[in-house]
Chains A and B, each alone.
Chain A
Amino acid sequence: GQNIDQPTEMTATEGAIVQINCTYQTSGFNGLFWYQQHAGEAPTFLSYNVLDGLEEKGRFSSFLSRSKGYSYLLLKELQMKDSASYLCAVRDYSGGYQKVTFGTGTKLQVIP
């Protein structure tokens, strides 16, 4: 099984930087995803990490430490449209097949 923890809510100011943390416990780890979900919409894929280190994609970066069971999503130059829930999801081997389990999400509010 998996245990994925991330803060429930965060607030940050437009133009600032925010870091959303995710910790997990799992066996057979095979990758970590970050998804963005605006209210009333479907989740959309943001990033994927399977090796330790930082993956950068424009204003968004994601970091992974496998030994610590830890990841973060870094959002720079925050915009109002970044207000959304951010879901950490872990893929592992479970019962002979790969499965992706989502955390409960962090609701980010960007304020002017």
Chain B
Amino acid sequence: KAGVTQTPRYLIKTRGQQVTLSCSPISGHRSVSWYQQTPGQGLQFLFEYFSETQRNKGNFPGRFSGRQFSNSRSEMNVSTLELGDSALYLCASSFFRTGTTGELFFGEGSRLTVL
């Protein structure tokens, strides 16, 4: 069974640009979450989607957005990049349904560097 696939793995952008990251979840998983990981802050929750609906959102500015497609694949977008957006962006899929505990299966992440 294929794992969670994130693309691209590495990317370099300059301030003011925008970036789109992609995540393909494990087959059958309808929940996709996104996390930002930085050395000082650890993993910070961005948002979670289930069947194309955003169910939860973290405390990030509106520059961070996401969406989920009917095949459960998800994208996140960061507009007007700032230096502080440099981080490892992790996507996690889960067989999340009401009443389940939902272990997260993470991808390898997309390492974003903003210059």
Answer yes or no: are A and B bound together in one complex.
no
